[in-house]
Amino acid sequence: MISLIDAPVDPRHRAPSLQPPGQNAATQVVVESLNHPITTLRGDPLPVGCAMELGYFSRGQMVLPFRGKWVPLSGRFTLETNRGIQFPRIGDGGAGPGCFAWRHTFQHGVETLAPVNVPLAIRFYDHADPQAARTFNSVSNPSWWCRPPKAGTPALVYMSLDFEGTVWEAGERDAFRTTLPVFGSMFSRLMSLGETPEERPA
C-alpha cells in the first residue's frame, strides 16, 4: 500500500506555494482513496483526470454534514482567496483510475479553509470539467474537521475514504459511485422526466 505522506504529487496539479514571510499558522489537508475506486453510474472506475473538489457545506454539522450550500475550497469555482489552488483530480499522486492521493497546506490569513467544527467533504464528478459533468457524489466524515494549528506546527486533517463513519451524500447504497445528477445537465433533465440514458430509445 502506498504511504500517502510519501506519495508523489503530480507536478501538473501541485498548488503553488502561497506562504508569505513569517506566516507559520497552517493546516495541511491530505485526501486519499487508494483501496476503493470511485466509479461512474454504470460502475466503471472514474477515468484519470476527472474533477474533484475539496469543500464543505455551509450549515454542515458532524452528524449532518450535507446541510446547506456547497462551498468549494479548491477549483475553478472556489473562493477568491483560494484561486491559486489546483483542484485535485482522479489519478493524482500516481493513483490509477478511480483513485487519488492529494494534499495541500492552507496558509491561514492567505487562503480560506472551513470553519472549525464544520466537517470537510470531497465532491467527485464524472468529467474533467464540473460544468460538463452529468453526475457527482460527495463524501464526508465526522473526523474531517479543521483543527487549530499550533505555533510553528501545521495542523493535519487526514481524509481517507477508508475511515469508519464515512457517509455519502447519495446514501450508503451509492457509496463510491457518482449517481447524483448535476443540475442543468442533460442527465438531470432526463431524470426529471423519469428516464436515464440507459432507458432512452435508440
Q: Mean pLDDT over residues 127-154, rounded? A: 87
Listed in order, strand segments (DSSP E) in 126-173 are 135-145, 155-160, 167-168
Contact predicate 143/190, CB 8 Å: no
Q: What is the mean pLDDT of the chain?
A: 79
Confidence of residue 125 (pLDDT cuts 50, 70, 90): very high
Confidence of residue 147 (pLDDT cuts 50, 70, 90): confident
Q: How far apart are CA 45 and CA 8, in angstroms?
A: 21
Identify the sign of the CA torsion 81, 34, 67, 119.
negative
Closest CA to 40 of 177, 157, 180, 194: 177
Residues 6+ apart with CB under 8 A from 171: none
pTM: 0.78
Q: Mean pLDDT over residues 135-148, rounded? A: 91
Confidence of residue 16 (pLDDT cuts 50, 70, 90): very low
Q: Mean pLDDT over residues 150-154, rounded? A: 74
Say what the pLDDT of residue 18 is: 32
Q: Mean pLDDT over residues 16-39, rounded? A: 72
Say what the pLDDT of residue 68 is: 94
Please check the confidence at residue 158 and state whether its pLDDT lies above 80. Answer: yes
Q: Rounded to 5 degrees, what angle do the CA atoms 118, 122, 124 make?
A: 155
**How does pLDDT run across 68-86, given as a tens digit for each residue?**
999 999 876 677 777 777 7
Please check the confidence at residue 12 and state whether its pLDDT lies above 60. Answer: no
Say what the pLDDT of residue 24 is: 55
Each domain of the chain, given as residue ranges in start order, spans 26-199
Say what the pLDDT of residue 150 is: 72
161-189: burial string, b at 16+ Cβ within 10 Å, e else: beeeebbbbbeeebbbbbbbbbeebebee
